[in-house]
Amino acid sequence: MKITLDNVVKTFDTFRAVHGVSLEIESGELLALLGPSGSGKTTILRMVAGLEFPDSGRILFGDVDATDIPVRERGVGFVFQHYALFPHMTVAENIAFGMKVSKVRRSRAEIDARVNQLLQLVKLPGLGNRFPSQISGGQRQRVALARALAVDPKVLLLDEPFGALDANVRRDLRRWLREIHQELGITTIFVTHDQEEALDLADRVVILDQGKIAQMGTPRDVCRNPNSAFVTRFLGDANRFSGVSSNGRVTVAGVEVATAAIPDGPAEMYVRPTDLIWSREGQGVPVRITRVLDRADGRRILAETEDGTHIEIDADVDLDVEAGQRGFVQVKRANVYGAGA
C-alpha cells in the first residue's frame, strides 16, 4: 500500500506541529521518521493512523483519499512504546482481541489458528496462556506486534516501540523486526528519536525539525551527505570548529582544510570523532589532551584547541596517550556550512 502525504498541516491551539509536509511512502517500504522531541514525527504518524486529522492537505492510501476516514476503517496496525496490552488477558487473548471485534467475522477455529501462526512468527510459541506480567518487556513488545498484525493491516505504524527497553534488547528486536518486515512486506512507518535505530532499520529515513522535513534519503545518503548543520549534529557526535571560508578552503585555528565549495566568509566545520587523526608530532590543529576515556572498542580522547574549542577524537584501543599531552589533529573528512546554516 503506497501512502502519500500532500502538503499536510496540523496545529494544536496556537502551536503548529506539522508545517506543510509532503511525502510518499512506497508500497512495502520501511520508512523511519526521525527527529528530536517536538519535531512532529508522532503527529504525522497519528494522522496516518486516523487518530488525528490534518487542518489542511491530504493523506492518500493508494489512490483513495483517506484524510477523513476514521481509524477503524483505515486498515492500519499500531504498536505503541508501552505495549498497551490488556493485563487481564492472556497473550493469546491479547493477540485475538482485534479479530474478535473486527467487522470481518472469523470462526473460533480460524482465530485460534491465526494466533498460533502469529506466536510462531514472533518467536513466542507455547506462551499463549501466559499473562503480560509473566513475560519480559521484549516479549511483551513482540505480543503487541503480533496483535497489530492479527487483523492483516495494509499499513503498520510503530511509535517508538523499543523506547522502554534496554539497549541489548533493543538491538535484538531491531534485527528481528527487520526480518519480519522482509518476510511480510507490509508498508511500515517507524517513529524514533534514536538515530542508530532508524539507520539500522529503515529503507529510507525522513529527518524532521520543528514540523518540517530537514532531509530525507537512504541511511547512506543522510549519513554521507547531510545537507545542513542541524542534520549533521543530529545524526551523531560531531566536533564543531569555527573558521573562515575562502576559495574552497576553510581556515581553522590557523590551519587550512580543503572543503566543498561554500560562499566565502564565516564558516562552521563539523568533524566526527572518527574523522580526526591524533599525532604527537607533525601537522594539523594544535591541541592539548584533557582526558582519556576507555571503552570496549577503543579510546575517546577529550582535547582542547589553542582557542579553547573542546573536541573529541576516537582512537585505537592500543594508542598510548594520557591527559596533559600536546599534539595535533588532522581532519580526514568534514562537513562545512556557512555560519548559521
For 197, the grid coordinates are 535505530
For helices 137-149 and 91-101, the axis angle rounded to 10 degrees is 20
pLDDT at 212: 97
Q: What angle do CA 173, 175, 180 make, to 5 degrees?
A: 90
Closest CA to 330 of 264, 285, 268, 265: 285
Contact 117, 183 (CB under 8 A): no
Strands 255-258 and 249-252: antiparallel
Give the C-alpha separation, 39 to 213, whole Å: 9
Four-point Cα dihedral 297, 298, 300, 305, nearest 10: -150
Contact 132, 183 (CB under 8 A): no
For 55, the grid coordinates are 487542518
Contact 31, 25 (CB under 8 A): yes
Contact 323, 291 (CB under 8 A): yes
Q: Give pTM, 2 decimals.
A: 0.88
Counting other chains too, the contacts that 102-111 makes at CB distance below 8 Å and 24 or more residues apart are 102/151
Residue by residue, DSSP assigns 128-186 as TTS-GGGS-HHHHHHHHHHHHHTT--SEEEEESTTTTS-HHHHHHHHHHHHHHHHHH--
Contact 336, 242 (CB under 8 A): no
Give the C-alpha separation, 331 to 341, whole Å: 21
Give the C-alpha separation, 77 to 49, whole Å: 8
Give the C-alpha separation, 316 to 298, whole Å: 5
For 278, the grid coordinates are 591524533
pLDDT at 340: 63
Closest CA to 199 of 181, 174, 180, 176: 174
pLDDT at 14: 84
Using DSSP, state whether 97 is helix, strand or coil. helix
Sheet order of strands, 64-65 included: 15-25, 3-12, 56-61, 64-65
| DSSP bridge pairs for 287 | 305, 327
pLDDT at 164: 66
| DSSP bridge pairs for 277 | 330
Domains in the chain and their CATH numbers?
Answer: 3-230 (3.40.50.300), 237-338 (2.40.50.140)
Contact 279, 327 (CB under 8 A): yes
Q: How far is CA 307 from CA 242, 250, 286, 326, in A?
A: 10, 16, 10, 14
pLDDT tens, residue order, the chain (341 aa): 999 999 999 999 888 999 999 999 999 999 999 999 999 999 999 999 999 999 999 999 999 999 999 888 888 998 887 768 899 999 999 999 888 877 778 888 999 999 999 999 988 999 999 999 999 988 998 899 999 999 889 999 999 887 767 777 788 888 888 888 998 999 999 999 889 889 999 999 999 999 999 999 999 999 999 999 999 999 989 999 888 888 778 888 777 776 666 778 888 889 999 999 999 988 888 999 999 999 888 999 999 998 899 999 999 999 999 999 999 999 888 888 887 66
